[in-house]
């Protein structure tokens, strides 16, 4: 694992400790990288599950608010085995802000040392990019 991956994953692990998941107890931390800048997020549940916000989307929002987009990669930490991939809403959000989906890495790990990695383009092939709106 490249040294930069270690640093990104460490930030995602730390973010996971701040997750608010009283109902599901499924705590997730995420860290997104844009060039040299990194932003973290944790999932925040709500009693009405539809109002919950995923860790990945929280990290993306932090990057957007700092005007540090487009994004290059995301690291996700959960307790799931095998490591969990981003949900559909997170995939679409990452696609919106990815520098290049064909090179955007999605790295997922758990505390048992299991690791999975994908390219965003493989997780959301033929994704809706907004270009469709400009062609109408």
CA distance 19 to 1: 25
Output the CA angle 39-94-127, nearest 5 degrees. 175
CA distance 130 to 132: 5
Active-site residue, from 14, 45, 56, 132: 56
Q: Is 56 a catalytic residue?
A: yes
Q: Which residues pair with 34 in a beta bridge?
A: 37
Q: How many CB atoms lie within 10 A of CB 6?
A: 11
Kindly list the catalytic residues: 56
């Amino acid at each position: 694992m490249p040294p930069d991956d270690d640093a990104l994953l460490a930030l995602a692990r730390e973010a996971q400790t701040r997750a608010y998941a009283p109902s599901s107890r499924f705590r997730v931390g995420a860290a997104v990288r844009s060039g040299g800048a990194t932003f973290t997020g944790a999932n925040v549940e709500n009693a009405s599950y539809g109002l919950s916000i995923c860790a990945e989307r929280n990290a993306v929002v932090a990057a957007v608010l700092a005007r540090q987009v487009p994004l290059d990669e995301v690291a996700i930490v959960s307790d799931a085995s095998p490591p969990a991939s981003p949900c559909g809403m997170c995939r679409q959000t990452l696609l919106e802000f990815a520098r290049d989906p064909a090179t955007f890495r999605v790295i997922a790990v758990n505390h048992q040392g299991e690791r999975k990695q994908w390219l965003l383009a493989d997780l959301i092939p033929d994704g809706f990019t907004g270009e469709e709106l400009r062609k109408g």
